[in-house]
A and B are shown apart, each in its own frame.
Chain A
C-alpha cells in the first residue's frame, strides 16, 4: 500500500476516471482499493485489504457504465473505465443497503464501545433514514456473550460481513468462527466446545466494522473519543508491531495495531496487546532505594540523585579494590537505542569493564508475528555495543563469575527480565555471593527487594526514542505517558551515573534522545541518516536511511485509514 500512493510504477497501467478524476492504476486491481489508495472514500463494510473479497455487504456499489450498479470491491479496473461514486442511483442503493442493515440493529450506540469508530454510525450520517418504515420488533440475539476468553460478542449488532470468519480462516488459520443458520436466522458462531481462542483473537474486534465483536479488556472501559492516541511500537517481543496507545488521564486504556505492511500488516498478537498493565499498576518501581549502612534513617527511600551518588560510590570502591572487571553490567533489551548507546558508553568509558551484556528472555515463536526474543530491542542493544567487551563475560558468564566471587558488584537493568531469562539456581548463586547488587527496573520484584541500591526506570510508553526490530527495522517509540515527576529515564540514569563516576556534576549530564540518535547516526554502522523525522511513522531498515536527502515520510504515514 505504501508504494501505491507514492508515485509508483505499474506493470500494466490503465487509466480509470473516478468522479471525473483520471487515475492511473494497475490493470486488474480492484476498483475499491484503487479509489481508497487515491483518497476517494467509497463506503464499505465487508471489504478488508488483508482478507479475501466477500462481496456480501453491497455497500460499495458504484456506477461503472455496466447495466447494473457494481460492487467496487470486486470490480477489476480496466482501461477507460468511467466510475461514478456520487450519483443519485448510487446514493439510493446505499440508502437501501443501510435500511436493511439497520432493520434489526439495536441502535444501542450509547452503551456500545464501537460508538465513535463505527462504520455503521459513520455511514448512517450519509445514507441513513431518519425513521424506520417497519413497526416489527427488532430481532433479539446474544448480548455480551463471551465468544472467547478475550472477545465479547453482541449478536444483535452483527451485520454478517464475515470479516471475522475470514480472519480465523485466512490469518489466524484457526477456523473458530463461521456463519450458522440460514436466511434471517444467520448468525456468527463457534462450534460447540471450541471458543474463539487463538493467539490473535482480538484482531477480530479491530476489524469488526460495527460493535458486534469487542475486546473484553476494553469493554465498557472508556468512550473512544476521550482517548488520546500516540503512535508507537509494541514492547512485548522483537517483532516491533506498530501500535497506537490509547491514553486517558495518563493511563494506557488499550493498545491497537497500526498498519505497517513491512512489519505486522495490520495485526498484533493478543499477548502484546494486553501486556501493558505493568506500565501503570502498583508494581511500578517509583522510589529510589538505598539499603544497608548508607540508608537514610529508618526508611531506605532516597532521592534518585542520592541513589545515583551511592551507586557511583559503590562502583568506584569496587573498581579501586578489585579492578573494573569486578563490575558486571547486565543490560535490558527493553531500552531504546539511545539509552543503550549511553549504557555501552557508561560501561566502556566510565566504569571500564568489559563485562557487559543484554538480558534477553526467550520463549515460543510462531512463525507469524510472535518472536522468540521477548523484548523489543535486543538487536538494538547489541548494535549499540551492549555486549561483552574483549574477553568480557556474557550474562551466564557474569552470573558464574559472581557466584565464584570474581565479580563483586552486579548492576542489573531489568531484574525481573533476568529472572525470566536465566536458571533460578544460577541467579541465586550469583546473588548470594555478590557484595553489591544495584537493580534498575521499571517494576518491583524479588531482586529489587534485596538490592543494595534500586534505581527506578521508565517504561517504553514514557520515552521518546527508537527500537530496532528483529528484521533490522528502526522504529520510533513515542512518549504517551508523563513519567513520575522528578524521575529519570534509563538513559538519564546512565548519563548521570557516568558523570558522577567521571567526577563531573550530574546536573549537566542530561539525556537527549534526539541528539543521541544524531550521534548514533554518525558512529554506528547501518544507522547512517537515521533521525526521528527520517523514521516517520513506519520506520526505516538499517542501511536505508542514508542519504540524508531522502524525502521524509509524514507523521501519519501512507497507510489508509482502517475501520478500527
Chain B
C-alpha cells in the first residue's frame, strides 16, 4: 500500500527537537506532548507550522502525519500558512456575532486590506475568524498572537488597537536595529 510519508531531510532545529523531547517526562505518553510541540514549532517558525516539519514532529511523538494535521486544523491557535507578526483572531461564534463581530471583522479587513489567509505586504498583520474563544460574557473578543484577550470591543476600538500594535512592532524593529 502506498502513502508512506516521503523521507524528508530534517528541518527541526536541534534546539527545537530538544525542547520537545524535554517535555516527555511531564506527560503519561509521548502523543500527549503534541500541543506543546506545535506551540514550540510556531515559536520557532514565525507563528506558523511549515508542512515539512509535520512528518518529523509525528515521528518524534510516535504519531502518523495525518494525526498531526488533524490537530493543527482543529485548533484555531495553530496556523498552517504564514501569518503576520501580529495575527488577529476574531471570534465569530454566536455570542460575538450577536455583539458585532462581523462588523469588526469587516473593518479589520478594510483597514488592513487583507482577507483571512493573507498577510499585509510589510509582513506585520494577518486576520482570521476563529471558533468560540470561551469568553462570551465579554463578547466580542479578539486575540492577538497568544496574548490575553481584547474583550468587549467595538469597531471604534480598532484604530487604537492597531496603533498600539504598530507602535510595539516599531519598537521591536528599533531594538533589533540597535543590536
Q: Could you list which residues of chain A lie within 8 angstroms of chain B, going by C-beta atoms?
A: 172-185, 189-194, 197-200, 366
Q: Check A198–B1 contact: CB distance below 8 A.
A: yes
Q: Check A175–B64 contact: CB distance below 8 A.
A: yes
B147 CB to closest chain A CB (Å) equals 22
Complex CA gap A179/B73 in Å reads 9
Q: Check B66–A181 contact: CB distance below 8 A.
A: no
Within residues 18 to 72 of chain B, which ones have a CB less than 8 A from any CB in chain A?
51, 54, 64-67, 69-70
Q: Which has the most chain A C-beta neighbours within 10 Å: B3, B74, B76? A: B3
Q: Check A366–B65 contact: CB distance below 8 A.
A: no
Hey, which chain A residues are within 8 Å of B1, CB to CB?
A: 172-174, 198-200, 366
Complex CA gap A199/B1 in Å reads 6
Complex CA gap A294/B1 in Å reads 52
Complex CA gap A563/B76 in Å reads 35
Residue of B nearest to A185 (CB): B131
Which one of A176, A183, A192 lies within 8 Å of B131 (CB-CB)?
Answer: A183
Q: Are A180 and B69 also in contact (CB < 8 A) when A185-B131, A193-B51 are?
A: yes
Which A-B residue pairs are the 8 nearest by beta carbons? Answer: A180-B73, A178-B70, A174-B3, A191-B69, A178-B66, A175-B66, A182-B74, A175-B64
B132 CB to closest chain A CB (Å) equals 8
Hey, which chain B residues are within 8 Å of A180, CB to CB?
A: 69-70, 73-74
Pair count A-B, CB < 8 A = 54
A158 CB to closest chain B CB (Å) equals 15
Hey, which chain A residues are within 8 Å of B172, CB to CB?
A: none
Query: For the complex, is B5 an interface residue (Cβ under 8 Å from A)?
Result: yes
A470 CB to closest chain B CB (Å) equals 20
Query: For the complex, is B167 an interface residue (Cβ under 8 Å from A)?
Result: no
Hey, which chain A residues are within 8 Å of B66, CB to CB?
A: 175-178, 190-191, 194
Q: Are A175 and B3 also in contact (CB < 8 A) when A182-B74, A183-B131, A193-B51 are?
A: yes
Complex CA gap A160/B131 in Å reads 18
Which one of B3, B65, B73, B76 lies within 8 Å of A197 (CB-CB)?
Answer: B3
Complex CA gap A185/B75 in Å reads 11
Complex CA gap A177/B73 in Å reads 13
Hey, which chain A residues are within 8 Å of B75, CB to CB?
A: 182
Q: Are A191 and B2 also in contact (CB < 8 A) when A178-B70, A185-B131 are?
A: no
Q: Check A194–B5 contact: CB distance below 8 A.
A: yes
Q: Are A178 and B69 also in contact (CB < 8 A) when A192-B51, A193-B51 are?
A: yes
Encode B70-101 as 1/0 by CB contact (under 8 A) with A. 10011110000000000000000000000000
A434 CB to closest chain B CB (Å) equals 42
Q: Are A191 and B65 also in contact (CB < 8 A) when A173-B1, A197-B3, A198-B2 are?
A: yes
What are 8 A-B pairs with beta-carbon distances under 8 A? A174-B2, A178-B66, A181-B74, A182-B131, A183-B131, A194-B5, A194-B65, A199-B2
A141 CB to closest chain B CB (Å) equals 15
A189 CB to closest chain B CB (Å) equals 8
Complex CA gap A179/B64 in Å reads 14
Q: Check B73–A181 contact: CB distance below 8 A.
A: yes
B31 CB to closest chain A CB (Å) equals 15
Complex CA gap A453/B1 in Å reads 42
Hey, which chain A residues are within 8 Å of B2, CB to CB?
A: 174, 197-199
A4 CB to closest chain B CB (Å) equals 31
Encode B6-20 as 1/0 by CB contact (under 8 A) with A. 100000000000000
Complex CA gap A438/B70 in Å reads 59
Residue of B nearest to A200 (CB): B1
B59 CB to closest chain A CB (Å) equals 14
Complex CA gap A200/B75 in Å reads 31
Complex CA gap A193/B76 in Å reads 22
Residue of A nearest to B131 (CB): A183
Residue of A nearest to B67 (CB): A178
Residue of A nearest to B68 (CB): A191
Complex CA gap A472/B16 in Å reads 57
A162 CB to closest chain B CB (Å) equals 11
